[in-house]
Amino acid sequence: MRIVLALGGNALQSDTKDKSSESQLKTCKETAKSVVDLIEEGHEVSIVHGNGPQVGQIVATVETAYKANKENTLFPFDVCGAFSQGYIGYHLQNAISEELEKRHIDRSVDTVITQVIVDKNDPGFNNPTKPIGSFYSAEEAKSLTEEKGYVMKEDAGRGYRRVVPSPRPIDIVEKNVIKAMIKENFIIIACGGGGIPVVRDGNEVKGVAAVIDKDFAAEKLAEILDADMLLILTTVNNVCINFNKPNQRQLSVVRVEEADKYIKEGQFAPGSMLPKVEACKKFVQFKEGKTAIIASLNSAKLAIQGESGTRFVR
């Protein structure tokens, strides 16, 4: 089975307090076991990962250096996203390669630094909402707006932060490279952090300051690869309605019309479960016979076997 696997933040950094490189590598080695379980079963797996904490750390480090000395380079956000793809991909591909070797599976793993095309007229550009990087004083925020054109918003009384838009992906620049590598039996890590957002300008593609949700990027990759399954791995075993209420209920199978009903009722948190549900719904509508599942990282194998997770059907 051809599977596109979307890894949530817990697959990269399980200790929310320790955001060090060492902690990430340790978590990646645990994550690799679940990934290789699927490969060992004979599935063809391509991997998409998030980058929320990591790109935030990179941006904050760059901004701190800039605050200290204005001669330091304030790298643009798309470049910081590329940094995070290389950093996380390096850890994941080495961890997966190590686990494959332990099990005597002869496969190669590689990371593709991936640009994802968005529409420059996407409505998300009219309402930047994704906070990134450091906190600033009102005076510093005003200066960055004037000097760099940043959109700065006050964040819960803690200061001002830069916010960027979150447009939807429409295509992947490196899709032919990814397809060719998969044909040669490579295990591919692509669209990291949702991909580097770019817009077409004539014959050029230009990076933009934005964040593409990794679940939507994974869904787009699954369409392009004509995958059989989109598997989104997170911290919970099932999607729930009435979450954290006395009448909370786990969902095992969700039809598209049921998903629409729950979305309309506001059952899923916008920055958390909602994009996962919407990505799954979009993938099963893409073509007859497609399956999408949301499950916990530790239950990936069981989810494919239908023994865990929430399965979306057309």
Residues designated catalytic? 9-10, 130, 214, 276
Q: How far apart are CA 183 and CA 177, in angstroms?
A: 10
Going by C-alpha positions, the residue among 193, 160, 157, 191 that lies closest to residue 175 is 191
Q: Is the dihedral of CA 279, 87, 133, 117 positive or negative?
A: negative
Q: How far is CA 28 from CA 4, 11, 87, 238, 294, in A?
A: 18, 7, 12, 22, 20
